């Protein structure tokens, strides 16, 4: 996922802000990490450079 | 994700490797390029595009020829992997077109080619499209139209699935086909203006070869004179402002 995508992303469910955590990044993209919505308590994974923003239920 | 979405996602994950052999070679390329040209004509070029159901990024590649930026969303991670390697200029995410993970007024243009018939809540997708478009932004959707020929497709696809045929788009997904007035109403209810719905591309890729050749020759005539025979509906509209 390119960093340029971040400003237009939001939580699909509540449309609130997402907090980015980076585990692995190269010069052009974030390869592993997550996008966290604190309002929904949901973490959307970034794996192999692809963010998975499918709506889902709380991770409880 | 509901069962119907899971099924579509699983199908496209399975066919991601062979998808481009259908739409990016010979006959498939002609068919897809023709659709792409029709959609491109309607969209502002060199801006920021969102493509819903982007698949392997074929349309984003077309859009990118004129510069600008493009974001692609698809249910299938397998298809997104392909898109990422095809289009370095694009940015991609896995997601549901009916519940978009994008902020209000993020895009100048929005496209969706041959994915709309899979939606369970088309109203949601059109409303979400309206939300993420900037004022003055343009949406263009290509989907299979409702007519004599497509009315036979669900039965054919159900048969294909029962016979275990591994074929792109072949499966019983409970797809929906739309009439011109249904597409018009969906856009109208969401608040769009300058709505235009027309039929295009008579020469469908699933036609057998000799028929396909003939169909391509008479396609412009069919589109102009016999729009009820053409397979695809091309619907476009503008967000006011």
Beta strands in B82-181 (DSSP E): 90-94, 107-113, 133-144
CATH class of B3-146+174-238: alpha beta
Mapped onto helix, strand or coil, the DSSP state of residue B23 is helix
Which residue in A4, A6, A9, A31 has the most chain B C-beta atoms within 10 A of its own C-beta, making it the best mutation to test that interface? A9
Instruction: Tell me the per-residue pLDDT of B58-97, one tens digit each, with 9 for 90 and over.
Output: 999 999 999 999 999 999 999 999 999 989 899 999 999 9
Examine the pLDDT at A55 and tell me if it is beyond 80.
yes
ipTM over 0.90: yes
Spell out the domain ranges in chain B.
3-146+174-238
| Number of other residues whose CB lies within 10 A of the CB of residue B79 | 24
**Closest to B4 (Cα-Cα) out of B174, B178, B177:** B174
Residues of chain A with C-beta less than 8 angstroms from the C-beta of B80: 50
| Closest Cβ–Cβ partner in B77, B94, B102 for A10 | B102
CA B1 to CA B33: how far, in whole Å?
32
Question: According to the model, what pLDDT value does residue B159 have?
Answer: 58
DSSP-derived letter for residue B167 is -
Examine the pLDDT at A23 and tell me if it is beyond 60.
yes
CA B72 to CA B107: how far, in whole Å?
12
Question: According to the model, what pLDDT value does residue A59 have?
Answer: 46
Question: According to the model, what pLDDT value does residue B121 have?
Answer: 92
Question: According to the model, what pLDDT value does residue B156 have?
Answer: 58
Of B189 and B16, the one with more pLDDT: B189
B94–A53 CB contact, under 8 Å? yes
CA B17 to CA B149: how far, in whole Å?
29
Question: According to the model, what pLDDT value does residue B171 have?
Answer: 58
Which residue in A2, A4, A6, A12 has the most chain B C-beta atoms within 10 A of its own C-beta, making it the best mutation to test that interface? A12
pLDDT range class, residue B160, cuts 50, 70, 90:
low
């Amino acid at each position: 996922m390119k960093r340029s995508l971040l400003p237009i992303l939001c939580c699909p469910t509540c449309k609130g802000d997402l907090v980015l955590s980076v585990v692995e990044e190269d010069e052009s993209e974030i390869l592993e990490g997550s996008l966290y919505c604190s309002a929904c308590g949901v973490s959307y994974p970034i794996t192999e450079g692809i963010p998975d923003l499918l709506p889902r239920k709380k991770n409880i | 994700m509901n069962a119907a979405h899971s099924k579509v996602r699983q199908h496209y994950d399975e066919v991601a490797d062979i998808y481009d052999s259908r739409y990016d070679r010979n006959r498939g390329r002609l068919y897809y390029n023709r659709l792409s040209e029709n959609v491109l004509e309607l969209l502002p070029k060199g801006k920021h595009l969102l493509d819903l159901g982007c698949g392997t990024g074929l349309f984003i590649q077309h859009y990118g020829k004129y510069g600008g930026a493009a974001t692609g969303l698809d249910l299938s991670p397998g298809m997104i992997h392909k898109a990422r390697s095809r289009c370095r200029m694009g940015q991609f995410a896995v997601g549901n077109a009916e519940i978009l993970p994008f902020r209000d007024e993020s895009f100048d243009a929005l496209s969706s080619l041959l994915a709309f018939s899979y939606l369970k809540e088309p109203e949601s997708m059109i409303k979400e499209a309206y939300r993420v478009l900037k004022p003055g932004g343009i949406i263009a959707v290509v989907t299979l139209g409702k007519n004599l020929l497509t009315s036979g497709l669900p039965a054919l696809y159900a048969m294909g699935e029962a016979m275990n045929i591994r074929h792109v788009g072949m499966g019983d997904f409970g797809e929906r086909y739309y009439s011109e007035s249904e597409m018009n109403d969906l856009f109208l209810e969401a608040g769009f203006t300058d709505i235009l719905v027309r039929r295009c591309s008579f020469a469908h890729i699933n036609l057998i070869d000799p028929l396909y050749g003939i169909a391509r020759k008479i396609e412009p005539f069919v589109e102009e004179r016999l729009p009820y025979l053409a397979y695809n509906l091309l619907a476009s509209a503008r967000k006011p402002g």
